[in-house]
Structure 1
Amino acid sequence: MTADVCVHQAMLLPQNPSQVHASAVNGDKNTLQRLITAESRLRDSEDQFGRTPLMYCVLADRLDCAEVLLKADAAVNKTDHSQRTALHLAAQKGNVCFMKLLLSRLADWRLKDLEEMTPLHLATRNSSSKPLSLLLKHMAPGEVDTQDRNKQTALHWSAFYNHPEHVKLLIKHDSNIGIPDSEGKIPLHWAAHNKHPNATRTVRCILEAAPTESLLNWQDYEGCTPLHFAVADGNEAVVEVLTSYEGCSVTVYDNLFRTPLHWAALLGHAKIVHLLLERNKSGMIPSDSQGATPLHYGAQSNYADTVAVFLKHPSVRDEPDLEGRTAFMWAAGKGSDDVIKTMLDLKKDLDINMTDKYGGTALHAAALSGHVSTVRLLLERGAMVDPLDVMKHTPLFRACEMGHRDVILTLIKDPFVYLVDIDGNSALHWAALGGNAEVCEVLMENGISPNLQHHAGRTPLQCAAYAGYINCMALLIQHDADPNIQDKEGRTALHWSCNNGYLDAVKLLLGCGAFPNHMEHTEERYTPLDYALLGGHQELTQFLLEHGALSIAAIQDIAASSIQALYKGYKVRRAFRERKKLLMRHEQLRKDAANSFVSPSERRTRDAETPEASFPLATTVTPLSTRKCSGTVEEECVMETCSPDTCISVECGSTYERRSPAGSSRPGSAKPVNSGAHVASAIHNRHRTTGAHLKQAAQATPRSTEPPTDSICRSASMGNKPASEHKSKQSNISNSTSVTLQKERRAEREMHRDKDYRSRIEGDKQAGREKQKCTGKEKDKERWMGRTRKKQVDKEKEKKRDSIHSKNQAAIVIQRAWRRY
């Protein structure tokens, strides 16, 4: 026994083999005979894999030991843990002698292992057809197409292993060539899918049995025909065989709407492309679901020779896809420089500046993909450097968006760097949004402002803050970017960083002077702290609170308190002004009252100058409705202090007795009274002055014993009588009485009336004191109830003041005050 055989036998045995298994592997026939004779159950003993000594005899090719075991009635159909019998192992190894021995002992070939494979399936793996032929002899008609777990028959496996003899033998035994497996593939699919040069024999064997159009164009569950598989494997010989049949279609679509021509162009099989174009009887170049032709596929893969085959064929044109992009644009987008050169050389009428439905050119596609060599090639061949698409994007914008620095440096030499797109975004906006700090630096060095705002008011700093690019943000701030600029919705860069939870970005912004309490201009008026709270960023929220950030609710509370304080101060100042006006008015009235009194010296002077004859002792009083008071103004007496017998005229300072009823007029019915006391009483009632003021007014005008002035006499004497009668009476009194008697009567009359007036004033004061004592408690109670009602009203007002609109207005006031501060 050679060393290789010993190694092979050692590999067959388990780690701790039994003696009977070791004897079977080593071919120790005598020991094996002695062991099974001594103990018969050992002939079917199993090891850790469930294998019996008979199986090890098959694996080790020990035919003599197998005969000993079979003579001892060893179980021929016993299975291991893989549900395989000794016949499975013999068929897999292609050991015809063992297969004959086992079949002679009635081994069942129909038994299936865990993969549901029979010995017939395993026999197809051998290049020799003898094991397969031996099994077919023991099968009844119709049993040859037994399927495994994947619904594959022995014919599928024979085609897969590229065994044309097996295929012929199975077809001879009536194997069905049109049974699909679990993937929908028939044996022809597996035969065409083989890359072996000899695969054409297997394909021909199957097609000779049934060269039908349905078989040639059979599609699996992915829509692929055998021609798809042959093209994908690049097997030109199999493609030649398949397309040689008239029923084979080269324009059949798979589930991705790709034909075999698409696959050939995508994989760069130039010869197969030429073959398929020649075998395409329809002359139409198919396109996929996106409108892309095989030329598009070849162009994006940079297969210049394949593209050249397409361009040289008369039926091929560079048609655009559904988005208006040609194969030339696809090549530019993929950086296929060789294809671009080939297309420019072969197609002299090719428009290098052709646009798609979005206005993009080949230069746009190259700049977006970052192919700097393609960009330079297009510029050298005459491509426009500043075309605008429908979004007003130039190729530079596309490069800035993706951060292709080399492309930017190639394109930025031209003056269109300051252009903005349809949304107002500059190239710096796109570079910041992509987080390309180097690109941002290049753009700012070429004059783009870092505070440029697009149509929505956002700056490049806000774009970088939205994505959390710290390096880009730091570079923008270093170039004087303002972190407190608000967009049209009131959001700052701090809002965007807090919204996405970028703590490092927030630290950078606050460290560079960002105001933490900017409110947005929406109805909610959220602050950066509100964004952090809504996002559930606890660490960020704590950091903002430590740096003085406030939520909108806190700002509204502070604003409401401030407005309440301002309103209370306003009310105090207003009340003070009203009191001041009242005090000033009161003082003015007091001065006017004091000035209206006639001093004693003036009264004595006027009495001395007035003749005694001018003072009548008795006159008649005019009706109240037409009484004249030292002038021409007529008015009714509305004084509350007038008694039924007297009436005060404040304008003239005289007191008269009221007219008696109609028809009664007696002399002396009108008597002048001391004017000073009655003036004080009038001031008391008209101006509601205090008792002290009344006292001061009474004392300020002393009693006068002098006769009244001439005006008083005239006003007292004027009545319904004619003036001639007044004059006659005055002359009679002047002749009948003396001056001394008139003075005595007048003094006596004034003394009595002063006494009556003082007693009446004292009585009124006493009554007022008693009334004040009685009503004091009631006033206190009413005052307390008024305060309670006022508190309730204030509470209701405070509740109404807590509405969102009032809070928002308060927040606006505080924000303006803060800005002014």
Structure 2
Amino acid sequence: MVESWRYLFDDEEYLESRIFPPLHKIVLGLCRDDLERQLERSTSFIDEQDIDGRTALSWAAAKANLKDVDTLLKFGADPNIPSKRGHTSLSWAAQSASRIRKDVIQALLENGAVANWVDSSNRTPLVYATSEFDDPDCLRLLVEGGADVNLRDCHSRTPLGYAARMGRVNNLRYLLSCGADCNIPDHWGYTPLFEAVYQNHHEALQVLLANDSTLSSTKANGGMSILHVVAVSGDLLTIEILADHGDLTILSEDLPNDDGDTARDLFARRQSIEKEHRAAFERLLDKASGGPRFCSKFQACSMSDASDEFDFAVEGMDTFVDAVEVQASVE
């Protein structure tokens, strides 16, 4: 009985402690009753909530069980009843790993589900759909149903910010085609471009640059500019993509972060940097300064010597890492 949902619950004792209502047990496969026959007898408990505030429809949507979803909706289940954390059935459907999640999303929307519903983290189903899977068809249903592509969550991050953070390139393109603003910063000042650079999502970076993402010397949290982020985490291809992107003189290579370090200072401390990687970074800085310029600092300081005093946790970068990694996943 418990085997089919063991991946959701730690053990049988915990499962029993949840005290699921009868309809929940049917949807979860914890009893053999027929859902439609049960509802034909009575619909009085169709919207009953479990200990977490979730309805039977919520669970059916999470499982992407279209048959149960359709049955519950046919008998009048409310798709907009939130759980204790504010998640509706549509929020759960947007996170489903099933290949038919789109059909479930469509069924919910056709039966009154609110596409722009915000949960306790101010996140809409669009945020979850954007983050979990690179499937613009699901996004299209939500946007056409009324989801706001620029709505910020509790961290002021937009769906586009999550698409860039997770490298969901198809989602990224679709959101941009719907008018998503690629220059909205989150609570820490990081735009989608920052996210793509930090994560080395090359295709996402190219898409953002092609769609007028602002390259500027504006500082984000910790005084980090795009060049600082590249210096700390940029791989060879990320650096080459930026270096090949037109006029970079808007970027200041001499701009220090809050600890007084320039991008050159941070890059000089990286460990095991190949010659090709170092040359690409020099070319990036050359373009930012307006032309090639010899720097004796790189001659004077070898990467192997610098690595003794650098463990990749660059001072001044800690807050940035916390922001993009601790807050990396949505609920």
TM-score, L = length of structure 2: 0.78
SS in 2 for 1:206: helix
In 2, the alpha carbon distance for the partners of 1:117 and 1:49 equals: 18
Per the TM alignment, residue 79 of structure 1 is displaced from its structure 2 partner at its CA by 1.0
Does the alignment pair 1:57 with 2:26? yes
CA contact (8 A) 1:92 1:122 kept: yes
Does the alignment pair 1:205 with 2:178? no
> Which residue identity lines up with residue 173 of structure 2 in the other structure?
R
Query: Identity over aligned residues, as a percent?
Result: 21
Considering only aligned residues, what root-mean-square deviation do their CA atoms show, in Å? 3.1
Match of residue 148, structure 1, among 113, 119, 127: 119
In 2, the alpha carbon distance for the partners of 1:281 and 1:110 equals: 49
CA contact (8 A) 2:196 2:205 kept: yes
User: 1:256-275, aligned counterparts within 5 Å?
Assistant: 256-275=222-241
SS in 1 for 2:34: helix
Per the TM alignment, residue 282 of structure 1 is displaced from its structure 2 partner at its CA by 4.2
User: 1:688-699, aligned counterparts within 5 Å?
Assistant: none
In 1, the alpha carbon distance for the partners of 2:234 and 2:174 equals: 29
Per the TM alignment, residue 130 of structure 1 is displaced from its structure 2 partner at its CA by 0.6
**What residue number does 2:110 align with?**
137
CA contact (8 A) 1:300 1:327 kept: no
Per the TM alignment, residue 261 of structure 1 is displaced from its structure 2 partner at its CA by 2.6
CA contact (8 A) 2:231 2:264 kept: yes
Higher relative contact order (CA 8 A, sep 6+): 2
**What residue number does 1:72 align with?**
41
Per the TM alignment, residue 339 of structure 1 is displaced from its structure 2 partner at its CA by 7.5
In 1, the alpha carbon distance for the partners of 2:221 and 2:26 equals: 50
CA contact (8 A) 1:251 1:259 kept: yes
**What residue number does 2:318 align with?**
none
In 1, the alpha carbon distance for the partners of 2:194 and 2:260 equals: 20
**What residue number does 2:183 align with?**
217
In 1, the alpha carbon distance for the partners of 2:92 and 2:130 equals: 13
User: 1:544-563, aligned counterparts within 5 Å?
Assistant: none
Match of residue 301, structure 1, among 270, 273, 277: 270
CA change 1:275–1:240 in 2 (3 A) is: same
Match of residue 53, structure 2, among 61, 83, 102: 83
User: 1:159-558, aligned counterparts within 5 Å?
Assistant: 159-162=130-133, 163-195=135-167, 199-210=168-179, 215-249=181-215, 251-279=217-245, 281-283=247-249, 284-286=251-253, 287-289=255-257, 290-302=259-271, 303-304=273-274, 305-312=276-283, 314-315=286-287, 317=293, 331=301, 336-337=303-304
Per the TM alignment, residue 250 of structure 1 is displaced from its structure 2 partner at its CA by 5.2
Per the TM alignment, residue 80 of structure 1 is displaced from its structure 2 partner at its CA by 1.1
In 2, the alpha carbon distance for the partners of 1:164 and 1:61 equals: 34
In 1, the alpha carbon distance for the partners of 2:232 and 2:189 equals: 18
Per the TM alignment, residue 223 of structure 1 is displaced from its structure 2 partner at its CA by 0.4
Which piece of structure 1 moves more, 107-116 or 255-264?
255-264
> Which residue identity lines up with residue 132 of structure 1 in the other structure?
I
Structure with the bigger percentage of helix: 1
Unaligned runs of 5+ in 1: 18-46, 321-325, 341-365, 371-821
In 2, the alpha carbon distance for the partners of 1:133 and 1:63 equals: 28
In 1, the alpha carbon distance for the partners of 2:132 and 2:70 equals: 24
- Report Cα offsets for 1:387-407 as digits up to 9, x if no partner: xxxxxxxxxxxxxxxxxxxxx
Per the TM alignment, residue 117 of structure 1 is displaced from its structure 2 partner at its CA by 0.4
**What residue number does 2:316 align with?**
none
Aligned residues: 293
In 1, the alpha carbon distance for the partners of 2:14 and 2:203 equals: 53
CA change 1:277–1:59 in 2 (3 A) is: same
SS in 2 for 1:193: helix
In 2, the alpha carbon distance for the partners of 1:91 and 1:318 equals: 60
Per the TM alignment, residue 15 of structure 1 is displaced from its structure 2 partner at its CA by 4.5
User: 1:103-122, aligned counterparts within 5 Å?
Assistant: 103-122=73-92
CA change 1:9–1:173 in 2 (3 A) is: closer
Unaligned runs of 5+ in 2: 311-331
SS in 2 for 1:216: coil
